[in-house]
Amino acid sequence: MTLLIFSYRDAKGEVSQRTLVQWSEKDTHIQGRSAEDTFPKTFRKDRIIEFLQGANLLLNEAAPLAPRLRPKPSTLAAFEAASRTPQPKTPPGGLNQILFTGFLAAHRAELEQKASDFGLKVMKTPGKTLTFLCYGDNAGPTKVAKAQEAGAFIIDSDQFLSLITTGELP
């Protein structure tokens, strides 16, 4: 088994060493899990400080493109005011899709409303066109596995809230 080991600076600025036993790669992200993780985590490539092992296995520029987000026009003006960076482009095929799993009903409804307000299409089951799966404490492995097969980004609720605040994965 070949490992991918790297130093990583998270959104809070904390540096840690990550070891992934399974991973997939997009142009801007690496998603994978360590031996201790139940679910995969998403890591931004621009926050990787140094690769310690396995860098030769990465696709780099040849990696498939990550989905680009485009908020609804009603939230676009507020989003532009809060950010000086260019807005993401709409991916071919339309709206990005998100599925929430493992949350209490009231919390899931709140997250689904925020996703809809941001311009994401909320799904009830994972499919081939799923972009994001947001998981809570009670998420089942079947939905997560189907989302992974579809190439979706697996994120937790904190990463989702950061996504709709900044327009990018943390």
| Predicted local confidence at residue 99, as pLDDT | 95
Residue 71 and residue 26: Cα distance in Å, rounded? 21
Q: Is residue 50 part of a domain?
A: yes
% residues pLDDT > 90 (the chain): 41
* 23 & 81 share domain: no
* 54 & 82 share domain: no
Q: Is residue 88 part of a domain?
A: yes
Please identify, among 42, 62, 82, the residue that sits at the C-terminal boundary of a domain.
62
Split at pLDDT 50, 70, 90, the class of 136 is very high
Q: Is residue 126 part of a domain?
A: yes
* 41 & 84 share domain: no
Of 19-33, 57-71, 118-132, which range is least confident?
57-71
Each residue's pLDDT tens digit, 141-169:
888 888 888 888 899 999 999 888 887 77
Average pLDDT over residues 14-18: 93
* 55 & 83 share domain: no
* 154 & 126 share domain: yes
Average pLDDT over residues 32-46: 87
Owning domain of residue 28: 4-62
Each residue's pLDDT tens digit, 75-128:
444 445 444 433 333 344 567 899 999 999 999 999 999 999 988 999 999 888
Q: Return the CATH number at 131.
A: 3.40.50.10190
| Predicted local confidence at residue 81, as pLDDT | 44
Residue 19 and residue 31: Cα distance in Å, rounded? 12
Residue 71 and residue 80: Cα distance in Å, rounded? 10
